[in-house]
Amino acid sequence: MNITIIGLGYIGLPTACLLAQAGHTVYGYDVDAKKIASLQQGKAPFEERGIQTLLQDVHKQGSFTVGTTLKKGDVFLIAVPTPDINHKADLKFVFQAIDAITPLLEDGTLVIIESTIAPRASVDEILPRLATVGKNILLAHCPERAIPGNTLEEMVKNDRIVGGATQEAAKRTAELYASFVRGNIYQTDITTAECCKVMENTFRDVNIALANEFCKISEEVGINVWEAITLANKHPRVHIHQPGPGVGGHCIPVDPWFFVGISKQAELIHTARNVNDGMPAYVVKNLMQYVRKHKIKNPVIGILGVSYKKNVDDARETPASTIIEALCKEKLSFLVHDPYVKTFSVPLSPLKELVEKADALLLITDHDEYVKLVLPKDSPIKFMYDTRNVLPHTFNVPVYTLGNAKNI
């Protein structure tokens, strides 16, 4: 089948490569000329396990080509960003993609939206737009569930939900995905598929908010939240999530707003978002207490990790940004390190510089590299603040852990 993928980011590119590997003729289109230039040389524009090798394979075979001009396909698969603007899913990029493909649509063309969209977006906004073409276009929504860092494996192994505007659209989409997905593929209507995706990420956000609330309560009552959660999770029907410095990434802190934006019923969801968005300020408040406790004047804070999760280079919506903004407001100096992220909103420094020059270390991301951290004997570090509970307590300086009142 001839497939045109629109948007070659963290989702579009792996999907394109897997479809090309499965024997389809895939053309990738993106508005980012730099990304296309890199892909034309067979170079993946971001780090993701296995993507470089797979890209080179399909590039060599000629089954995956890319460009900045659109080409006709039997299928158009849209994987463009859908950011949250004022608590609503902004469909601007989806509409741009649909407007761009409009002249290329024919009777029977299948249009698949992989981008996460708000419930009813397909029925209320995308279908009416496609209807103006005056042709029998098949529309489906196939939300993506893969985890950054293990995207390729999860894209193949995970179960998928395919929502069709019609049964024929769902069936044809399911057949296409069956060419590379080994998990189960469940067919449903398009609004149910939209809701499933947003529900999945909302479930995670609300549960993380609960863990974060337990974390703050634990500090008040004088216990270690990590110990308490481990013990509570020994209950056969309890699975409390982990607290942390805030929720990041492209999905979890964004998607729950799509429910808040469309329904007044989303009260718990709204509160959970606010709890998680409040964590960076909570971390900075604690950090300032430790700075005062150690009587450090004009401290330099060394920030360990800015990506939103461990061992990946994805820093979108990272709580590190909000924490750094708060440090700037407090007029604190800082040095920032991340072993994976290449460019960030502030300059990044080598780890060596942090351990040699900072007065305190604030661990935001639990990259494996930090678990093995060694401080030089003459390091000026006076304390460490670990928001992920991963640092060993074997240093000769105090290690304070978010949510652990026992070692404060």
Catalytic residue among 17, 215, 251, 382: 251
Laid out side by side, the sheet with 75-78 consists of: 64-67, 25-29, 2-6, 75-78, 110-113, 138-141, 160-164, 185-189
Q: Which is nearer to ligand NAD, 219 or 314 (CB)?
A: 314
- Cα–Cα distance measured from residue 83 to residue 390, given in angstroms and rounded to the nearest whole number: 31
**Active site annotation includes 197:** yes
Residues of span 34-63 touching ligand NAD by CB under 6 A:
35
Q: Which is nearer to ligand NAD, 6 or 229 (CB)?
A: 6
Buried b (16+ CB within 10 A) or exposed e, 100-125: bbeeebeeebbbbbbbbbbbebbeeb
Shortest Å, Cβ 367 to ligand NAD = 18
**Residue 251, CB half-sphere, CA atoms under 13 Å: how many?**
20
* Residue 8 binds ligand NAD (CB under 6 A): yes
Shortest Å, Cβ 99 to ligand NAD = 9
Q: Which residues pair with 383 in a beta bridge?
A: 360
- Cα–Cα distance measured from residue 147 to residue 229, given in angstroms and rounded to the nearest whole number: 24
Shortest Å, Cβ 149 to ligand NAD = 9
The H or E element spanning position 259 is: helix 256-262
Q: Which is nearer to ligand NAD, 206 or 361 (CB)?
A: 206
Instruction: Compute CA 347 distance to the chain's CA centroid, rounded to the nearest angstrom.
Output: 22
Q: Which is nearer to ligand NAD, 69 or 184 (CB)?
A: 69
Pick the binder of ligand NAD from 27, 29, 257, 383 (CB under 6 A). 29
Count the residues of the shown chain that bind ligand NAD, applying the rule CB under 6 A: 26
- Cα–Cα distance measured from residue 208 to residue 202, given in angstroms and rounded to the nearest whole number: 10
- Cα–Cα distance measured from residue 13 to residue 236, given in angstroms and rounded to the nearest whole number: 40
Interstrand relation of 84-85 and 88-89 (parallel, antiparallel or unpaired): antiparallel
* Residue 250 binds ligand NAD (CB under 6 A): yes
Pick the binder of ligand NAD from 5, 6, 22, 391 (CB under 6 A). 6
**Which residue of the chain is nearest ligand NAD when measured via CB?**
9
Q: Which residues pair with 361 in a beta bridge?
A: 302, 384
Shortest Å, Cβ 60 to ligand NAD = 23
Shortest Å, Cβ 247 to ligand NAD = 14
Q: Give the chain's count of helices (H) and strands (E).
A: 16, 15
* Residue 253 binds ligand NAD (CB under 6 A): no
- Cα–Cα distance measured from residue 250 to residue 7, given in angstroms and rounded to the nearest whole number: 15
Q: Which is nearer to ligand NAD, 7 or 248 (CB)?
A: 7
Between 127 and 146, how does the x/- string for binding to ligand NAD read (CB under 6 A)? -----------------x--
Residue showing tokens 């893969």: 146
Q: Which is nearer to ligand NAD, 35 or 382 (CB)?
A: 35
Query: Phi then psi for 187, rounded to 5 degrees?
Result: -100, 140
Shortest Å, Cβ 20 to ligand NAD = 17
Q: 333: closest CA among 289, 356, 300?
A: 300
Between 145 and 184, how does the x/- string for binding to ligand NAD read (CB under 6 A)? ---x------------------------------------
Please report, for residues 8, 139, 259, 331, 332, the alpha-carbon distance to residue 172 in angstroms, rounded to integers and kept in the order given. Answer: 23, 10, 29, 57, 56
**Active site annotation includes 251:** yes
Residues of span 67-126 touching ligand NAD by CB under 6 A:
79-82, 93, 96-97, 114-116
Q: Which is nearer to ligand NAD, 80 or 130 (CB)?
A: 80
Q: Which stretch binds ligand NAD (CB under 6 A): 8-16, 160-168, 223-231, 292-300?
A: 8-16
What residues line the site for ligand NAD (CB under 6 A)?
A: 6-12, 29-32, 35, 79-82, 93, 96-97, 114-116, 144, 148, 250-251
Which residue numbers are catalytic? 197, 251
